[in-house]
Every structure is written in structure tokens, then in C-alpha cells.
Structure 1
């Protein structure tokens, strides 16, 4: 079943708006020195990807508490931004080593 074109466009526009908003937050964090410089679009996509999986982790019976899941995801997302930067630095270093040979 195909969705009407106006709904497809509204969905795509909303997805882009959310991505832009998360990228903007990450950009502001980098500028303020709270995050290490990273490709904020890639970091935003990673964070949003984690958020998309909440539906699979959440259990309405209380065995997995939504507050616990949301706090853990937020912690992982914020901690992940510096990790992405470190990986980029490692890759840059490796590329320099390879190009020197």
C-alpha cells in the first residue's frame, strides 16, 4: 500500500527537520566546547538510530522502565560523541601512517 504523496512529503520533511535539529544541538555543543569536533550529521544519525530502537526495548509490563531506557540512551548518546571524535582522530593518524609508506 502506497501512502498519498502529501503524507510522504510531510513525513520526509519531518524527518529532515528532526535531523537538522539534532545536528544543530550537536553543532552548538561543539562550538561551546562541550563536545569534541565530530561530523555532527553522522553523530546525529547515530543518536537518532538509537532512539528508533526504543520501541523494541520498551516493555509496558514494567520489566524495562521507559525512564531507565531514556536515561541510558541519553547517557550513551552524549558519551558517544567524544568516541566518534576519537575514532576519527585514529583514522586520520592511520591514514597518515599509510600515506608515509
Structure 2
């Protein structure tokens, strides 16, 4: 593997985060950054070959909580939104 040299500028917070991870892991800052690039930018290029992650994703048993209680959950969310509103709820008074 041939390596290319590059220079980057980091904010103080970014530098501190990389330096902290380097200290915790016992790696150099360069190795930490290289690992982040591999993990976040290059991982998508590799096609998944292990399908065991999909086991249990689909179930043919009873519907989930959302499927069984859809109306009740929507009502609870609506009431929670109304109660959390900044202005008090105004109710029209009979004339």
C-alpha cells in the first residue's frame, strides 16, 4: 500500500477529538484519521456479503405495536403536540 501525504486544517474541537481518540486507542492521530476515512467513506464501496444481518428483520407473526395501535398512537401524538404548544389552547365559547 503506497501512502500519499496530505495536509488538513482542523478546528480546535476537531483536533482535540482526534487527539483524544489517539490517546485512548494508543494510535497516532494519522492512524485515527485514516481509520475514520476507511470506516465512513470507503465502507460504502464494499458490497455486503453476509446476509445474516437480515435474519429477524421480517416477521410473519402478529402486527407490531404501530400496526395494532395506529389510531391510538396518532391521537396520543396529536394531544401531546397540542399540550406542548407554547400558546394556550383557545376554545370557542358559546354565544
More helix by proportion, 1 or 2?
Answer: 1
Q: Give the TM-score, by structure 1 length.
A: 0.23
Bigger Rg, structure 1 or 2: 2
Query: Looking at both structures, which has the greater relative contact order when contacts are Cα pairs under 8 Å and sequence separation is at least 6?
Result: 1
